[in-house]
Amino acid sequence: MHKHHSALGLASQNRPADPVTLLRPHAARRAARFFVEKFPGRSLYAVKANPSPALLAELWDSGITHYDVASIAEVRLVARVLPEATLCFMHPVKAEEAIREAYFTHGVRAFSLDTHDELEKILRATGAATDLTLCVRLRVPSDHAKLSLAAKFGADPRDVPSLLFAARQAADVLGICFHVGSQAMSVAAYTQAMERVRAAIVEAAVTVDLVDVGGGFPSVYPGMEPPPLEGYFHAIHAAFESLPISYSAELWCEPGRALCAEYASLLVRVERRRGSELYINDGAYGALFDAAHVGWRFPVALLREEESSARDMAFSFYGPTCDDMDHMAGPFMLPADIGAGDYIEIGMLGAYGSAMRTGFNGFGQGAEMEVEDEPMASLYAPDAARPRRENVVKL
């Protein structure tokens, strides 16, 4: 893979006709070391956020040894790329065939569940194995998160005591897990969820060996500057220490976005300008699914050798397909003199960008290139959460 000093240098020298994913392995390594060194427990990478084999290898080399897999395809992928990794099948609704293959072929021992039916399915598929780690998923609010995950999964509160009791009888290690939603902007998301954990343990009167606080750890985006992650870690640890659990109980988390958002950005070219609308060569069916469908605002920068002196104005984007839904409303603040032929870097797309890409209309097959400069924003760099000034125009 070609390596360039910076996104600006790549755009200026190569003038690519297709979108380019800019990879920053050093950013992924830095995020992984942060979690390994500072989270007071075990960090599992949530593979769904970005399943790139190259990224998986970077995280492994930086100390991430456990992986949250949500499908048999992810199980197979991580087992192939990282054969020594510990895989945890944390999707609460799985095909019985997937459980069987995960257990007998790939050595998976940790499974999540949120119903008695799922517990019975796991026991059937594994032949009533006695070495299982079973994590009962609680339903918790997503009030402090930008994207809710409260509707689809989580045990009915009325079923939690009996489900925990039944899982305790079957499990070698009994866990409780939850997910506070994506991009949780307050530590209260976790402290409130831990109170749900406490209540569940007390009501069920079981010994719990593992508490998994899930994902939701935030990254930096325009209008979303979260508090330092150390504050999240301290609050989680204090809540964990106060729970009525086994003296040797483990604490887990499942970061996805927080480990990989800074790993990649996207270089796009403006193909047309129509007033405040820019037609670019990637979009809703490519790496910008979230920008189109949930209104996510990503940091943007004009990449031009001579810095623009024009004022910023609000733009929206149209992607390259023939679908009107290929539209990103933004607003994306860029210099008013931007036009066809200019290049834009769209940052923080290491999380979910490449994972959501399709080949609709024949688009979506851009190149990947490594760059050595810093991400457009960072929670881990010395000047955390500040944009890269050399490429950012008046953000």
Per-residue pLDDT tens digits for 103-126: 999 999 999 999 999 999 999 999
* CATH architecture observed for domain 3-23+262-371: Beta Barrel (2.40)
Average pLDDT over residues 197-205: 96
Average pLDDT over residues 334-352: 96
CA pair distance 312, 370, nearest whole angstrom: 29
Per-residue confidence (pLDDT) for residue 383, from 0 to 100: 63
Eight-state DSSP code of residue 221: B
E strand intervals along 41-196: 42-46, 66-69, 86-89, 110-113, 133-137, 145-147, 173-177, 182-184
Tell me the residue type at 199.
A
Residue with tokens 């790939």: 106
Assign 40 a pLDDT band (cuts: 50, 70, 90).
very high
CA pair distance 61, 230, nearest whole angstrom: 23
Radius of gyration in angstroms for the set of CA atoms belonging to the chain, rounded to a whole number: 22
- Judging by DSSP bridges, how do beta strands 312-318 and 277-280 pair with one another? parallel
The answer to whether 181 and 150 have CB atoms below 8 angstroms apart is: yes
Nearest partner of 88 among 180, 233, 212, judged by Cα: 212
Per-residue confidence (pLDDT) for residue 393, from 0 to 100: 35
CA pair distance 114, 117, nearest whole angstrom: 9
Q: What's the mean per-residue pLDDT of the chain? A: 92
Alpha-carbon dihedral of residues 174, 239, 179, 289, nearest 10 degrees?
-140
Would you identify the CATH topology of the domain 26-260? TIM Barrel (3.20.20)
Per-residue confidence (pLDDT) for residue 145, from 0 to 100: 74
- Taking residue 2's Cβ as centre, other Cβ atoms within 10 Å add up to 10
Assign 149 a pLDDT band (cuts: 50, 70, 90).
confident
Average pLDDT over residues 369-394: 69
Tokens, residue 228 = 């330092």
What pTM, to 2 d.p., does this model score?
0.93
Nearest partner of 211 among 160, 166, 175, 164, judged by Cα: 175
Assign 385 a pLDDT band (cuts: 50, 70, 90).
very low
Average pLDDT over residues 168-196: 95
Tokens, residue 324 = 């009107």
Please write down the long-range contacts of 274-280, taking CB distance under 8 Å and 24 or more positions apart.
Answer: 276/313, 276/314, 276/315, 276/316, 277/315, 277/316, 277/317, 277/318, 278/315, 278/316, 278/317, 278/318, 278/332, 278/334, 278/338, 278/344, 279/317, 279/318, 279/320, 280/317, 280/318, 280/319, 280/320, 280/344
CA pair distance 169, 183, nearest whole angstrom: 35
On the question of pLDDT at 187 being above 70, the answer is yes
Nearest partner of 228 among 12, 34, 33, judged by Cα: 34
Per-residue confidence (pLDDT) for residue 360, from 0 to 100: 82
Per-residue confidence (pLDDT) for residue 387, from 0 to 100: 46
Assign 390 a pLDDT band (cuts: 50, 70, 90).
very low
Per-residue confidence (pLDDT) for residue 143, from 0 to 100: 85
CA pair distance 304, 300, nearest whole angstrom: 13
Share of the chain above pLDDT 70, in %: 96
The answer to whether 49 and 348 have CB atoms below 8 angstroms apart is: no
Higher pLDDT: 20 or 359? It is 20
Domain edges within the chain: 3-23+262-371, 26-260
Average pLDDT over residues 304-328: 93
Instruction: Quick: pLDDT tens for 255-312.
Output: 999 999 999 999 999 999 999 999 999 999 999 999 998 889 999 999 998 889 999 9
CA pair distance 178, 196, nearest whole angstrom: 10
Instruction: Specify the 3-state DSSP secondary structure of 218.
Output: coil
On the question of pLDDT at 168 being above 90, the answer is yes
